């Protein structure tokens, strides 16, 4: 498998079961399949899936409120990591946030999740604060990160000035 084999598209209700399965593998705090189905009730939610062939290998979503988008989850199956799926999913979230008029994207990430923190820093997220014992199962600090979109070009880079 190669990076170019990964495609990202909008999530549909038909994807809910597969996304639930990915969530169970990727996270200790798992959402129910019903939660993934309920996402479609709200126009403020924007979710995407990554596919390799006919296999869903990842998903990501944001919730938009005013001028801020919150990254809710980004999960990629272990055997598909380091192939660009998370980068493509994050890029899609940033593009959608910009299209919906957001000025910034916020998220929390486990303090121990070095790979995710590196991905976010690579995409110009800044670490703002530590939320003590934010996560459970296991208890761990959360790192609050922020990405301003005022200079986001839609290609993951700052515009030339």
Active-site residues: which are they? 108, 120
CB 60 within 8 A of CB 93: yes
Q: At what angle do helices 85-99 and 114-122 cross, to 10 degrees?
A: 50
Cα 8 to Cα 3: distance, rounded to the nearest angstrom: 12
Cα 139 to Cα 154: distance, rounded to the nearest angstrom: 35
């Amino acid at each position: 498998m190669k990076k170019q084999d990964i495609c990202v598209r909008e999530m549909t209700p038909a994807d809910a079961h597969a996304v639930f399965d990915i969530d169970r593998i990727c996270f200790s705090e798992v959402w129910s399949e019903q939660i993934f189905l309920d996402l479609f009730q709200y126009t403020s939610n924007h979710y995407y899936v990554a596919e390799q062939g006919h296999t869903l290998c990842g998903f990501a979503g944001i919730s938009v409120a005013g001028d801020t988008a919150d990254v809710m989850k980004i999960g990629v199956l272990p055997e598909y990591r380091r192939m660009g799926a998370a980068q493509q999913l994050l890029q899609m979230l940033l593009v959608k946030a910009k299209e919906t008029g957001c000025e910034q994207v916020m998220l929390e990430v486990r303090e121990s999740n070095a790979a995710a923190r590196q991905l976010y820093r690579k995409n110009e997220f800044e670490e703002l604060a530590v939320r003590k014992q934010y996560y459970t199962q296991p208890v761990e600090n959360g790192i609050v990160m922020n990405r301003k979109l005022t200079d986001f070009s839609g290609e993951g880079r700052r515009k030339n000035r």
